[in-house]
Amino acid sequence: DKGTYPYYMLKEVDEQAVVARNLSAHYFDEEGNVQGIGCGITDSIKEADRLYIVAAGTSYHAGLVGKRYFEQWAGIPTEVHIASEFAYDQPMLSKKPFFIFLSQSGETADSREVLDNIKRQGFPALTIANVMNSTLTREADFALPVLAGPEIAVASTKAYTAQIIVQAILAYALGDVDLDLKAELAKVAVEISAITDDKDCFKKIADEDLKGQKSAFYIGRGLDAAVALEAALKLKEISYIQTEGFAAGELKHGTISLIEDGTPVFALLTQAKTAGLLRGEVAQVAARGANTIVISSKSLAKEGDAYVLPEVNELLMPLLAVIPAQLIAYYATLARGLDVDRPRNLAKSVTVQ
C-alpha cells in the first residue's frame, strides 16, 4: 500500500532510514557485536582465498560498494561480476573461491544460471536477498536477509542501500576493524532522514538542471564512481534521459567530447583522497560548457556546490550519496509526466536470461 505517497518509489526512498535501523536491530546485539550471521557462513568465507560477488543491475552496483568492505575490513580479495556475463564467460577462478549472490528478488535468471554453474563445480555460495525463500536463497548453501520490506517500484532504491549495509556488517563480522559499526549505522540512519527531508532541493535540481535534457552524466572516483553507475541507472531507467555514469578519470579518454553547452554533469564528491582530482575534472567539463552539479560531503564542500551531504564514515558515504540521485531521478520523471513506478520495457524481476 502506497499510503499517502503518489508513487511507491518515493515511499521506498523514504523508508531507507527505517530499513537501516531495522538492519542494525537485527544484526547487532546491545553491545554492538554482530549477531544473526551463523559461523557456518563466516567459517566458510574464512577458508576462501577470494570472494566473487555476482549480481545484476542495481544489485551489481551494490556489490561494487561491498567489495571495498570485504577488502578493507575483512582483508579478502573480492571480485564483482555481472551475472549475465559470468554465466557464459566464466573467468579464471582462484583455488578456493566463495560466491556471494546479491539480489532483491532472489529470482533473477542470470544469477540463478551462475549459481547452478558454480554448484556443479562444488563451490560454496551465500545469497544476500530481500525476498527470502526465493530460488537464490533456497539453492545457495547460506542465505542472509536484506530486510528492506517489499519493494514494488521497478527502480530499486531501498534494496540497494540495504544490500550495502548487509555487506558492511558481514565484512565487519569477518574482520577486526577499529570501528563501532553499529554506532556508525545509527548516524547513517539519522543522516538519510535529513537528506530525504530535503526533497524540495532535489525537485529544484531536477526541474532546473534536467528540464528538456536528452542526456546527462554522473561522475566520481573510487566509491563515488561506483555510486555514479547506480545514480545514472536510476535516472535513465525511469526518466529515459540517456545517462552515463563512470569513473571521472576516464573523461579525458573519450567521453569529454560529448560535453556540449548546458550538458548536465553531476559529480559525486565524498572521497577525500581524490577530491582534488575530481574538482579538476569538474572544472574541465565546465570549461567545455557543461552545467556542473556537484554533490559533495561536508568536509570537501566548496561554495557553489549544489548539495552538501552530511558526513559519516567515508566508506559508508555511498549510503548517503545515492539518496539525492534517487530523488533527482524521481522528480525528473515526475516532471516528464511518466509513470515513475513502471517504466516502459521493464519488469521488476527479470526471470528470463
Residues that bind ligand M6R (CB under 6 A): 56-59, 103-105, 108, 111, 154-156, 233, 237, 349-350
**Closest residue to ligand M6R, based on beta-carbon distance:** 57
The whole-angstrom separation of Cα 224 and Cα 248 is: 9
The secondary structure element, H or E, covering residue 39 is helix 39-47
The whole-angstrom separation of Cα 66 and Cα 284 is: 30
The whole-angstrom separation of Cα 294 and Cα 223 is: 16
The smaller minimum CB distance to ligand M6R, of residues 34 and 350, is found at 350
| CB of 237 vs ligand M6R, minimal distance in Å | 6
The smaller minimum CB distance to ligand M6R, of residues 158 and 182, is found at 158
| CB of 145 vs ligand M6R, minimal distance in Å | 14
- Give yes or no for a contact between 263 and 215, defined as CB atoms under 8 angstroms apart: yes
| CB of 118 vs ligand M6R, minimal distance in Å | 16
The smaller minimum CB distance to ligand M6R, of residues 22 and 349, is found at 349
- Give yes or no for a contact between 239 and 333, defined as CB atoms under 8 angstroms apart: yes
The smaller minimum CB distance to ligand M6R, of residues 165 and 285, is found at 165
Place of cell 555511498: 318
| CB of 50 vs ligand M6R, minimal distance in Å | 22
Cell numbers for 39:
559461523
The smaller minimum CB distance to ligand M6R, of residues 59 and 167, is found at 59
The whole-angstrom separation of Cα 115 and Cα 193 is: 36
User: Using the 8-state DSSP alphabet, how is residue 290 labeled?
Assistant: -
The smaller minimum CB distance to ligand M6R, of residues 37 and 154, is found at 154
Strands lying side by side in the sheet with 264-269? 242-247, 215-220, 264-269, 291-297, 307-309
What are φ and ψ of residue 244, in 5° steps? -110, 135
| CB of 249 vs ligand M6R, minimal distance in Å | 25
| CB of 58 vs ligand M6R, minimal distance in Å | 3
The secondary structure element, H or E, covering residue 198 is none
The smaller minimum CB distance to ligand M6R, of residues 233 and 332, is found at 233
Q: What is the DSSP string of 287-346?
A: HTT-EEEEEEEGGG--TT-SEEE----GGGTHHHHHHHHHHHHHHHHHHTT--SSS-TT-
| CB of 255 vs ligand M6R, minimal distance in Å | 22
